[in-house]
Amino acid sequence: MRYFLHIAYDGHNYKGWQFQPNVKSVQGTIEKKLQLIFKRHVAVNGCGRTDAGVHSSQYFFHIELDIKLDFDLKFRLNKHLPSDILIHEVIPVTNKQHARYDAKSRTYDYFIHLNPDPVLTNYSSFYPLEELNFEAMKTAAALLPLHENYRAMCKQPDKHNHTLCIISFAKLYVNQEQTRLRLNISANRFLRGMIRLIIDFLLQVGKGEITIKEFEQILTDQSNDHLIKPALPNGLYLSKIEYPFLNTGPKPNFTDFLKVGLEDN
């Protein structure tokens, strides 16, 4: 029997999603608890990777079991897991449905705050910048769905079979006080480090280090030889995964407080 598990996690205590020997990861933590419950190793197949310090307000993985569950796995896992990992649902699926390969869309949010705030420290990236050109940043973000090749926005492009992505939505929000920002972006796939590199480019546009025309030219040329560095990880959230065969409905989202003032009216 194959089961999808719908979860959320706060990633700031972990070195990313993926299991690594002698490193605290989200996947490794879950697999340890599954082994405790089932008295054997149960492989966890995630819908994608997140880097160290990156969060997920919606994530799916699947597991294979020899028999049909006859107990409440959600309750038992939540009892054993640390409080920064939450199981929302355990969903039986067919053996052909795959958490990674069947995802048709992924959505990420990236949050920035410009003034020091201890409440936001682990959940939003602090950039002490002044006089950003927010309108230029919004214009640059809106250009992203007009392109298909994101080699210039990939940390290690040669490790991918190709760097084509279909971005269906990208919008930058700025609160009324102009102290907080949110990039909301959806695509069929994302490349290694792609969103954190996009954020770095948008900040360069905002600071006037590159123009909107230069930003678009970088996308058009697909060049990967410019000086950029990934934005901080703690502002990044994998926030939505869509499957053609699942309709999970709304769940409590620990990013809701971050979105206040940063949504469409």
The enclosing domain of 199 has a CATH number of: 3.30.70.660
Residues 118 and 177 in one domain: yes
Distance CA 24, CA 20 (A): 8
Q: Is 163 in the same domain as 111? A: yes
For the annotated catalytic residues, the residue numbers are 51
Chosen domain end from 69, 102, 135: 102
Could you give the number of structural domains in the chain? 2
pLDDT, tens only, 102-121 = 999 999 999 999 999 999 99
Structural domain includes residue 245: no
Do residue 79 and residue 117 come from a single domain?
A: no
Contacts of 194 (CB under 8 A, 6+ apart): 150, 153, 154, 155, 165
| Helix ranges restricted to H, the chain | 26-38, 73-80, 134-143, 194-207, 212-221, 256-259
Residue 18 counted as domain residue? yes
Same domain, 69 and 159: no
- Tens of pLDDT, residue by residue over 181-209, are 999 999 999 998 999 999 999 999 999 99
The answer to whether residue 249 scores a pLDDT higher than 70 is: no
User: Are the CB atoms for 107 and 185 separated by under 8 Å?
Assistant: yes
Q: Domain for residue 46, yes or no?
A: yes
Nearest to 113 by CA among 253, 235, 206: 235
Q: Which of 164, 167, 174 is nearest to 144 (CA)?
A: 167
**205 lies in some domain:** yes
**Are 83 and 150 in the same domain?**
no
Looking at the structure, do residues 114 and 91 belong to the same domain, yes or no? Answer: no
Among 102, 130, 154, residue at a domain's last position: 102
Domain assignment present for residue 35? The answer is yes
116 and 209 within one domain: yes
In this structure, the answer to whether residues 97 and 111 fall within a common structural domain is no
Q: What is the residue range of 163's domain?
A: 105-238
pLDDT in tens, 34-82: 999 999 999 999 999 999 999 999 999 999 999 899 999 999 999 999 9
Same domain, 173 and 86: no
For residues 131 and 219, membership in a common domain is answered with yes
Q: Is residue 193 part of a domain?
A: yes
For 143, left (φ over 0), alpha (ψ -120 to 50), or beta?
alpha
On average, the pLDDT of the chain sits at 93
Looking at the fold, whether 154 and 109 belong to one and the same domain comes out as: yes
Residue 54 shares a structural domain with residue 168: no
pLDDT at 228: 72
Q: Are 31 and 16 in contact (CB under 8 A)?
A: no
Of 102, 121, 147, which residue is a domain's last?
102
Residue 6 sits in a domain whose CATH number is 3.30.70.580
Q: Is residue 253 domain-resident?
A: no
